Amino acid sequence: MEGRVALVTGAAGGIGAAVAGELCRLGAAVAAVDCDEDRLARTVEKLTADGLRAEAFAVDLAGRTQVDGAVAAIEDRLGPLDYLVNCAGVLRTGEVRDLTDQDWDATFAVNATGVFVMSRAVVSRMVPRRSGAIVTVASNAAGTARMQMAAYAASKAAATMFTKCLGLEVARYGIRCNVVAPGSTDTPMLVGMGVNGEAERAGIIDGIAEHYKAGIPLRKLGRACDVADAVVFLLSDRASHITLHSLTVDGGATLGV
């Protein structure tokens, strides 16, 4: 990936930071995008301190009007984009009758609409160049019902099918669009779900019968680097004949379905 240019959303932490770091280590110049300007700056500082090429761009995907200008600025600064990774995501949990309109709107604004507006801005520039690769980080919840996760699961399902439809439209231009669907991954988002100690982690690994949730056959939580490796593979030339695909990275939690 030496000499390639990548844009990674949600790059301030978790899976997004892992993806940005791995792309940098493989020689790409990375535009690290996030709405959390302070955390993003710290993440990029660590990368640049190691001699890697990464630049921070503070962008709120929920503010649609920022995206086109940000993509233009990124290409002016780093060069034409070869890769886009849609990692940004938010999670609002609760039973449907307890979810507020704000919970629903905030979830879809980033997880679905954010993927749409960023992908549209980037792919519009990729099409004339007739090359590029896009990966959207969704969730195994996009295809498996989860209690208290209706907004999140629905938004990730929307992002998944959007990415595949986009991939169908742009395949004739040599642009590939794929999805990586993580399961429970050891990130700040998991902590935000109340998984703070060994008992909670064991519950996820063993399964939660009252929530109709199977455990993880590989007997461990995923790591951000596990997901990053899958993303990098789908972006790479080794996946040059793969598009419209969803790669599940969940230790077998959804039983291969």
Q: What is the pLDDT of residues 176-224, one digit of tens each?
A: 999 999 999 999 887 666 666 777 788 889 998 998 889 999 999 999 9
What is the pLDDT at residue 200?
79
What is the pLDDT at residue 101?
98
Check if 152 is active-site. Answer: yes
Report the alpha-carbon distance of residue 134 to residue 125 in Å, rounded: 13
What is the pLDDT at residue 193?
67
Ordered mean pLDDT values, 10 residues apiece, the chain (257 residues)? 97 98 98 97 97 97 91 98 98 96 97 98 98 98 96 98 98 98 90 69 87 93 97 98 98 94
Report the alpha-carbon distance of residue 164 to residue 119 in Å, rounded: 12
What is the pLDDT at residue 194?
61
Residue with tokens 């419209």: 244
Of 111, 105, 104, residue with least CA distance to 90: 111
What is the pLDDT at residue 161?
98
Of 109, 86, 107, residue with least CA distance to 96: 107
- Residue of 83, 152, 173, 212 with catalytic role: 152
Overall pTM surpassing 0.85 (yes/no): yes
What is the pLDDT at residue 71?
98
Residue 221 C-alpha from the chain's centroid: 18
| Residues 6+ positions from 50 with CB-CB distance below 8 Å | none
| Residues 6+ positions from 228 with CB-CB distance below 8 Å | 15, 18, 19, 21, 22
Residue 7 CB-density burial (10 A; 0-12 exposed, 13-18 middle, 19+ buried) = buried
Report the alpha-carbon distance of residue 36 to residue 64 in Å, rounded: 16
**Domains of the chain, start order:** 5-183+222-246 (3.40.50.720)
Structure tokens at 152: 């999140």
Amino acid found at 72: A
